[in-house]
């Protein structure tokens, strides 16, 4: 279920519903994209129709930011809880470890994704991290080849917004990955 704020869709599903849908996508070999929506992105999208279209094309727009929650309440909508990008990222890692699914970390400065991987493995020792790549490599063919060779179920993309959203939509079709999530500065946060 979705609600719309100034033209931008936001999911009103709970964490449990989202997790179930996302892991169903993996089991059924579907591709889907998760983006985090906050008031800043909604405002950016007002002046950028391509960004608005792209955000609405995503399969799951999670309500990151209390502003979205307040707007839903004012509209008598049904969004109950904030779901931050980083919480979704950590929950997906936890669930991936539980179900034996693999993840790939792409983005942030050299060394950061590697450190984020170490922190994730401390939390979720069974997590399969298929690979990591920093976000400053310019060779797109190399990036796609590396991800495809690692063959992850879930790809987390930390290039900042909206670069990561554009990157995901442009490259999804070339990658044999099921789930794509744009995670902004999350690798920096968990690696520190
Ligand atoms: N980044 C990157 N490649 C770039 C530009 C940025 O990997 O060419 C990374 C940067 O190192 C940081 C993240 O993208 O880890 C952006 O974090 P920020 O907190 O700015 O994300 P946002 O606020 O856009 O969600």
Distance CA 63, CA 104 (A): 23
Q: Are strands 2-5 and 8-11 parallel, antiparallel or unpaired?
A: antiparallel
- pTM metric for this prediction: 0.97
Q: What is the pLDDT of residues 5-22, one digit of tens each?
A: 999 999 999 989 999 999
Q: Would residue 136 be called left, alpha or beta, if left means φ above 0 and alpha means ψ between -120 and 50 degrees?
A: alpha
Q: How far is CA 145 from the centre of its chain?
A: 20
Name the residue at shortest CA distance from atom 5 of ligand 1: 159
| Residue whose C-alpha is closest to residue 133's, from 102, 154, 157, 97 | 157
Minimal-distance CA residue to ligand 1 atom 15: 108
Residue 51's SS3 state is helix
What atom in ligand 1 is closest to the CA of residue 134? 7
Contact 84 CB / ligand 1 (< 6 Å): no
Whose Cα sits closest to atom 17 in ligand 1? Answer: 185
Render pLDDT for 28-83 as a digit per residue (tens, 0 to 9). 999 999 999 999 999 999 999 999 999 999 999 999 989 999 899 998 999 989 99
Rg (the chain; Cα; Å): 16
Domains in the chain: how many in total? 1
DSSP letter, residue 81? S
- From the CB of 188, is ligand 1 less than 6 Å away? yes
Q: Whose CA is nearest to atom 16 of ligand 1?
A: 160
Minimum-distance ligand 1 atom for the alpha carbon of 187:
15
Point out the ligand 1 atom lying closest to the alpha carbon of residue 188.
15
Nearest to 19 by CA among 32, 3, 2: 32
Ligand 1 centroid vs 184 CA: distance in angstroms? 6
Encode pLDDT of 110-124 as tens digits: 999 999 999 999 999
For 32, the token pair is 């889907």
The domain in which residue 170 lies consists of 2-191
């Amino acid at each position: 279920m979705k609600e719309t704020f100034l033209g931008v869709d936001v999911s009103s599903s709970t964490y449990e519903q989202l997790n179930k849908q996302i892991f169903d996508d993996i089991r059924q070999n579907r591709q889907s994209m998760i983006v985090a929506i906050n008031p800043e992105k909604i405002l950016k999208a007002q002046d950028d129709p391509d960004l608005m279209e792209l955000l609405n094309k995503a399969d799951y727009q999670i309500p990151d930011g209390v502003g979205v929650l307040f707007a839903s309440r004012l509209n008598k909508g049904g969004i109950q809880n904030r779901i931050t990008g980083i919480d979704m990222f950590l929950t997906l890692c936890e669930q991936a470890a539980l179900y034996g699914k693999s993840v790939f970390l792409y983005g942030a400065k050299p060394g950061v994704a590697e450190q984020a991987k170490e922190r994730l493995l401390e939390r979720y020792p069974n997590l399969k991290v298929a690979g990591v790549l920093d976000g400053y490599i310019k060779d797109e063919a190399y990036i796609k080849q590396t991800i495809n060779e690692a063959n992850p179920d879930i790809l987390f993309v930390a290039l900042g917004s909206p670069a990561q959203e554009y990157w995901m939509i442009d490259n999804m079709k070339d990658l044999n990955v099921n789930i794509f999530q744009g995670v902004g500065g999350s690798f920096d946060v968990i690696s520190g």
